[in-house]
Amino acid sequence: MTSSWIVSAILLIGIAAHAYPTVGDKVTWSGTVNNATGSSEITITKEIVAFDKDSKKWKVKTDTKIGKETSSETVELAELFTPDRYKDIIKNCEEKGGVIEKITTHPGKYKTCKMTTVSSNGVVIEKWWGDIPFGVVSRNTKDQAGVAQSESPIQSLVTDL
């Protein structure tokens, strides 16, 4: 009886340890951005740095580097991407115009929902939504002529801190 309780407790702790969002979750995407003057390397890192229990808001820091230019911003958000949101996206993916795709990036393989949107100026944005903090496994942007403007798949993922 005692050993089965210990095994159950360990399994539950393992499941809870992989839950997100949680302070310390950190995702980095990197790729290239193309424009009229050429292409530049881009790296975007998002990290959950705090949770205010009173206001129920998350603090998320975003560091961006495009070529040699860098910027950093910290914002407070009432909601973040959750496993339940992922399940809803996968469940309704095709109904909402998406396509279920399995993709492989540097940290691993993901079952995703690829959603494509077109902005008012004709820019095509493709996002692959997966079961990770912040939700986006990869993102591509193409101009009106279909020329890639940016590609930024996930490069690293840190959870369970």
Q: 88 in a domain, yes or no?
A: yes
pTM: 0.78
Cβ atoms of 48 and 21 within 8 Å: the answer is: yes
Q: How many domains does the chain have?
A: 1
Q: What is the reported pLDDT for 154? A: 58
E strand or H helix at 63, and its extent?
A: strand 57-66
Contact 34, 147 (CB under 8 A): yes
pLDDT digits (tens, 9 = 90+) for 107-143: 889 999 999 999 888 888 899 999 999 999 998 887 7
Instruction: Identify whether 16 is part of a domain.
Output: no
Q: Other CB atoms closer than 10 Å to residue 74's CB: what's the count?
A: 12
The parent domain of residue 94 ranges over: 21-158
Q: Check which CATH number belongs to the domain holding 33 and give it.
A: 2.40.360.20
108 domain residue, yes or no: yes
Per-residue pLDDT of the chain (161 residues; tens, 9 = 90+): 433 333 333 333 333 345 799 999 999 999 888 777 788 899 999 999 999 999 999 999 999 999 999 999 999 999 999 999 999 999 999 999 999 999 998 888 999 999 999 988 888 889 999 999 999 999 888 776 655 565 666 565 566 54
